[in-house]
Amino acid sequence: GGRSRRGIARAPDRSDHSNFQVPGIDIVDLSLTQDQQNIREAILKHCSRFTDDYWLERDRDAVFPHDFHKSIAEAGWLGIAMPESVGGAGLGITEAAIMMQAVAESGGGMAAASSIHGPVFSLEPIARFGTQDQQQRMIPPILTGEQKMCFAVTEPNAGLDTTRLSTRAERCDGGYRVNGEKIWITNAHVADKMMLLARTTALDQVKRKTDGLSLFFTDLDRSTIEHRLIPKMGRHAVGSNMLFINDLLIPEADRIGAEGDGFRIILHGLNPERILLAAEAIGLGRVAIQRAARYARERIVFDRPIGMNQGIQHPLAKCWAQVEAANLMVMKAATLFDKGQDCGVEANAGKYLAAEAGFEACHTAMLTLGGMGYAQEYHVERYLREVLIPRTAPVSPHMILNFLAEKVLELPRSY
């Protein structure tokens, strides 16, 4: 079957096997193109330079993996889904998902993926809605690794109800004065730039609650922004932060799109974010299953490898089936996005399925290793801690089920 340069599946040519084709139904080729397979293999080879012990050490010392980030940037991978006009590869979210899946699958898990996740999708608002000057000024330094960025949306008292953000950006000479708080901001402690969503018109002064929010890409000025790292369960190498913003001045040239259009602009990045997180959960599930299966082949108890026991085989085989099935939904969502078609249902379903399957795979891997599964040196306990991130963020499984019930089953909205 053929695919376009961007990896979108076309109806495969089955002219030599027409007797196998049902009239009116296309046979879908679900395999990767050669170019996509090359991306996967290149990333796995690149990441092999950063061993399990490297990631275990980063988990212990909680230091950002600067050398990993630098190597990925220098190899040109950060711009995989960015336009060629700004130094990107001009490929799609499909290829980005394949890349991020391989990064997690290499053993780097969410620490590796999260250290480079932001540039892969978070620059999308600039690429789509920024002026040409903004695109040339803002995007290349992130792709080359010269600058790092963070994505500052979530707030302590708003949660998933983004329209109730209280961070205010008030007009002043030459731009905006910003005050407020943000929470769970990944990499803010090492970032030079931030994508910031703030309210420019008070909620009680807009017709629709989605109006009045504006998006900025600006300097993370540490003279007016205090960060505090949040101690957490896993992914210690990639910090999560609270931000306290006090009279941050943002020039008008750093606003992306029209004032008040920030929520609409941000929406364009939500589905890619879900797709990439789901792909990373798949990668974690895969590496956990691989490690557990290898252990089960080598571990001898009662004069036989424990992998001979169906009590070991069946749970791992079930996890493999669930992970690979979830991957099909994730790649369907990515393909729809790259075609310019609505993929909200598929992106959310893929994120839900991948996170649940990835979690069960990591948990089952830990059980397969028994007591050694609890030991850091075997790494699966790290995978289990890290897979809870895509299971929880950027949207909880419960909210995804609410969304699917409303959009697919046409049930009354519950929130």
DSSP, collapsed to helix, strand or coil, labels residue 82 as coil
Structure confidence at residue 20 (pLDDT) = 46
Partner residues linked to 186 by β-bridges: 240
DSSP, collapsed to helix, strand or coil, labels residue 8 as coil
d(CA 98, CA 223): 39
Structure confidence at residue 24 (pLDDT) = 59
Q: Give, as one character, the DSSP assignment of residue 174.
A: T
- Type and span of the H or E element at 217: strand 213-219
Structure confidence at residue 373 (pLDDT) = 97
**Weakly modelled stretches of the chain, pLDDT under 50:** 1-20
- Type and span of the H or E element at 197: strand 193-199
Phi first, then psi, for residue 93 (nearest 5°) are -65, -25
> Tokens standing for 339?
């075609």
Could you give the residue ranges of the DSSP H alpha helices within 223-343?
A: 262-298, 310-338
Partner residues linked to 3 by β-bridges: 9
DSSP, collapsed to helix, strand or coil, labels residue 238 as coil
Q: Are 316 and 289 in contact (CB under 8 A)?
A: yes
Structure confidence at residue 17 (pLDDT) = 43
The answer to whether the bond into 305 is cis (omega within 30° of 0) is no
Whole-number Cα distances in Å, 335 to 93, 263, 341: 8, 24, 9
Q: Are 389 and 110 in contact (CB under 8 A)?
A: yes
Q: Are 237 and 64 in contact (CB under 8 A)?
A: yes
Q: What spatial distance separates the first Cα and last Cα of the chain, rounded to whole Å?
A: 44
Whole-number Cα distances in Å, 245 to 156, 218, 395: 13, 13, 25
